[in-house]
Structure 1
Amino acid sequence: MFDDVKVILADDDPLNLDMLEKMLQQFECTLIKTGNGQELLEAISAHPQVDLIIMDLNMPIMDGYQVLRRVKQDVHWHDIPVVVVTADSTEVANVLELGANDFLSKPFNLSELRHRVMNQIRNKRLADFAKDTNAVLEVEVAKRTAALQQALAKALQTEYEISLRLGRAAEFRDQETGSHLKCISQLSKRLGQLAGIPGEQCDILYFASLLHDVGKIGIPDSILLKPGKLAPEEFATMKEHTVIGGKIMSGARDYPVIEAGRVIALQHHEKWDGTGYPYGLKGDEIHIFARVVSIVDVFDALLTERVYKRAFSIEETTQIMSEESGKAFDPQMFGLFFAHLEEFHTLQQSIHTDALPITSITEMIR
């Protein structure tokens, strides 16, 4: 029927205990007889796997009411079914309210006793099985969740590496050093943090900003590497690098870093007042990532030497950019940037001082 069933009997009358023992012999269970409530609690402690308690209410030292409260309030014992034996029908409602699972009326009816005991043991075993099954399932779910998290982390790491490689490819065309990528990436993340962009989104911005100029791959060397000012038609071709970058990264909406890189590549030359390119977006129509990158990109570009210009001083850079607040730049975003100008300048200078090429994500985030 059931294996290793343990039933605790509690009654201060040895005759009642013997009678219950004889009536329960057919269950072939282990019966533990106790004479009062204190002995009953000690028996539960000594036998962790108890399937049923059958107890009288009127017992010395600790009565059935006290025992019932203790059992049902204990996190380790409250699932043990308790059948209360009573000769007073008025007590039934009280014990059921305290958590008793069933009751037996004195004098005992053999058939009723067997059915009630059988039902309680069956319910207890089913509950134990469900609990054990849930525990196993929880372990399996934890394992699967950990495996999924590892897979997602690996996928995200792959996205990061792809972003880095694409960004480096554009830099090789533009004769830039790895420090420019690292500078744009770190300064973008910091400005994003100051702007209140959530942490996970700041991480995406950190890597997606690497892709801001990836479209330069499609610009002819004669224009991309030309020293000095570009002719109007040449500048028109140069502006196409935004659209080319968007096309390179199109169709990747399931990959948050690549999708964010597409938006940044397309929009980082848009201007707050609507005079930018390629679409003439205005104000909040420009994605916040692009508004961040446009500021730090110009900041780094002005402070560093390029084939077409000398490096400007921090004073010159500050003056030029301040004049563009509310025109090229989001004025609130630029205000945050300007309020922390010393921090950004120190970070930019330190990155360019350590101007080694970036060959891996690990090196980039050092």
Structure 2
Amino acid sequence: MFEEISKILVVDDENVNLELISAVFIDSPNIMVITARDGLEALEVLKEHTPDVIVLDIRMPRMNGIEVLNVLKSDPNTSHIPVVVLSGDEKERKNALKNGANDFIPKPFDAEELKLRVINNLQVKKYQDLIKDINEVLQKEVMKKTKELREALELAKEAEYEMVLKFGMISEFRDEETGQHIRRISYYSRLLAQLAGLPESEQNIIFYASPLHDVGKVGIPDNILRKPGPLTPEEFEIMKLHTIIGGKILTSDTRFITLHAGKIIALQHHEKWDGSGYPKGLKEQEIHPYARIVAVCDVFDAMTSDRVYRPAFTVEQTIDIMKKGKGSHFDPELLELFMENLDSFLKIKETFKD
């Protein structure tokens, strides 16, 4: 899958788990598994190796997984490395996510699920590295070129948008939404930002960042993400974690404007105007304008599209339902702008239909 060798550091105090996880990747020649038997040994390994993903057990002697996480995320040299925690305790998993973990795998673990989750995180890391490298190259080139550089910048921006779309589609492939869904969100969001009076520079930011709103779904188990019926309260609590996971995935240097805006949107697009949303229960102006805009657009597109658990609503049904959420779910001014310009949004929907 990857041309270069990808390194995975597995930290677990049980030898049988180290052997099982190493065996999972024995048929992956481009993946190297490095092991450590506790947190202190892992920190020593990190002095010689820079892994692309760390698989970290929580309960270990000498230095537990949470303590290791705190060290990793406080060090600029390791804070960018995705960490997948292993734990059989739901509270421990949530605590790990709050402390900087990017994903989790329940214990006892399923070998195939573990492999897929690690590879998903490797893909995310590769996209982040690629975007970072492109931005760094462009910053250097700005010093040297004029007309040729401007043309290169335009091409790079188009390439960045395509990469962002592919990045967003990692999760879309798993929950059976389509690439057209995230393209529609992109165009809807830019239009609503324009109608709301945001500067053109911010209209462009939300255009590029909004496709990343659900990237955190890459960390949600398939049996929940693809469930054909209603989620149980416990399953819904896990589903809600996709906002936090998305925020962790998109955490980056604030110089990378698209990723920083994507982080805000991923974290806040399920917050509600009246404070009843998640993950933090923000309300009104506490919610970033980008997230309030994407919330309106995402709900409209989701409701008017087929899902595994229900067929699409008609546009009329969707509008009636969304009107009931004015001032409770949605920013009332943004929803009004959306309704007043519905024909323009429907043209976008037709242009990028599934």
Structure 2 distance, partners of 1:351, 1:187, is 11
Does structure 1 residue 273 correspond to structure 2 residue 285?
Answer: no
Structure 2: tracts of 5 or more residues without a match: 1-141
8 Å CA contact 2:240–2:278 kept in 1: the answer is yes
Q: Is the 8 A contact 1:159 1:257 kept in 2?
A: no
Deviation at 1:347, TM superposition (A): 2.3
* Alignment partner, residue 219 of structure 2: 218
Match in the other structure for 1:287: 288
In structure 1, stretches of 5+ residues that fail to align are 1-140, 356-366
Q: 1:164 Cα shift?
A: 1.5
Q: How many residues align?
A: 213
Query: Which amino acid counterpart does residue 256 of structure 1 have in structure 2?
Result: I
Between the aligned partners of 1:340 and 1:289, the Cα distance in structure 2 is 18
Structure 1 residues 231-240 or 198-207, which shifts more? Answer: 198-207
SS of the aligned residue for 2:352 comes to helix
Contact preservation (8 Å) 2:295, 2:330: yes
Partner of 1:208: 209
CA offset at residue 207 of structure 1? Answer: 1.4
| Contact kept in structure 2, 1:249 and 1:259, CA below 8 Å | yes
Q: Which residue of 1 aligns with 2:303?
A: 302
Structure 1 residues 21-69: Cα deviation after superposition (integer angstroms, max 9, x where no partner) = xxxxxxxxxxxxxxxxxxxxxxxxxxxxxxxxxxxxxxxxxxxxxxxxx
* Aligned partners of 1:193 and 1:199 also within 8 Å: yes
User: What is the deviation of 1:151?
Assistant: 5.9
Counterparts of 1:80-229 in structure 2, within 5 Å, are: 144-146=145-147, 149=150, 152-153=153-154, 156-229=157-230
What secondary structure sits across from 2:255 in the alignment? coil
Whole-Å separation in 2 of the counterparts to 1:151 and 1:195? 31
1:256 counterpart residue number: 257
* Pair 158,344 (structure 1): closer, same or farther in 2 beyond 3 Å: closer
- One-letter code of the match for 2:352? I
CA contact (8 A) 1:271 1:327 kept: yes
Q: Quote the offset at 1:198 in angstroms.
A: 1.2
Q: Cα 1:197–1:172, aligned 2, differ >3 Å: closer, same or farther?
A: same
If you compute each CA radius of gyration, which structure gives the higher value, 1 or 2? Answer: 1
**Change in CA separation of 1:350 and 1:160 when aligned onto 2, cut-off 3 Å:** closer
Q: In terms of mean alpha carbon deviation, does 153-162 or 251-260 score higher? A: 153-162
Question: What's the counterpart of residue 243 of structure 1?
Answer: 244
Q: Does the aligned pair in 2 maintain the 1:159–1:258 contact within 8 Å?
A: no
Structure 1 residues 224 and 143, CA gap change in structure 2 (3 angstroms): closer
Amino acid at match of 2:193: G
Residues 252 and 259 of structure 2 are in contact (CA less than 8 Å); yes or no, is this contact kept in structure 1?
no
User: By how many angstroms is 1:155 displaced?
Assistant: 5.3
Q: Offset of 1:176 from its aligned partner?
A: 1.2
User: d(CA) in 1 for partners of 2:271 and 2:169?
Assistant: 23
Distance 1:161 1:260 in 2: 17
CA positional deviation for 1:154: 5.6
Within-5 A mapping of 1:354-365: 355=354
The amino acid across from 1:204 in the alignment is: I
Q: Is the 8 A contact 2:292 2:331 kept in 1?
A: yes
TM-score (structure 2 length as normaliser): 0.57
Going from structure 1 to structure 2, the CA distance change for 1:302 and 1:142 (only over 3 Å counts) comes to closer
Q: Distance in 2 between matches of 1:315 and 1:165?
A: 31
What amino acid sits opposite 1:294 in the alignment?
A: A
The normalised TM-score by structure 1 is 0.55
CA shift for structure 1 position 168 = 1.2
Q: Which amino acid aligns with 2:231?
A: L
Q: Output the amino acid matched with 2:290.
A: F
Map Cα deviations across residues 334-366 of structure 1 (whole Å, 9 max, x no partner).
1100111122123213321xx3xxxxxxxxxxx
Per-residue deviation, 1:145: 4.1
Decide whether aligned partners of structure 1 residues 269 and 148 sit closer, same or farther in structure 2, where only a CA change above 3 A counts.
same
**What's the CA shift for 1:228?**
1.2
**CA contact 1:274–1:282 (8 Å) conserved in 2:** yes
Q: Distance in 2 between matches of 1:264 and 1:301?
A: 16
| SS of the residue 1:164 aligns to | helix
Assess if the C-alpha contact under 8 Å between 1:229 and 1:308 holds in 2: yes
CA spacing shift, 1:254–1:154, aligned 2, 3 Å: farther
Find the aligned partners of 2:320 and 2:327 in 1 and give their Cα distance. Answer: 14
Are the equivalent residues in 2 in contact too, given 1:184–1:293 (CA < 8 A)?
A: yes
Paired residue for 1:340?
341
Instruction: Report if aligned partners of 2:209, 2:262 keep a CA contact under 8 Å in 1.
Output: yes
Superposed CA deviations along residues 177-220 of structure 1, whole A, max 9, x for unmatched, are 22101111111111111111111211111111110000000000
144 and 321 in structure 1: CA distance in 2 versus 1, 3 angstrom threshold: same
Identity of aligned residues (%): 51
Shift in alpha-carbon separation, 1:350–1:151, aligned structure 2, 3 A: closer
Taking structure 1 as reference, are residues 231 and 142 closer, same or farther at Cα in structure 2, changes over 3 Å only? closer
Residue 159 of structure 1: CA displacement? 3.5
Counterpart in 1 of 2:235? Answer: 234
Give the distance between the partners of 1:240 and 1:268, measured in 2 at CA.
Answer: 13
1:280 maps to a residue whose letter is G
- CA contact under 8 A between 1:268 and 1:294: conserved in structure 2? yes
Q: Match of 1:326?
A: 327
Aligned mates of 1:147, 1:303 — CA distance in 2: 43
Q: What code does the residue aligned with 1:242 have?
A: T
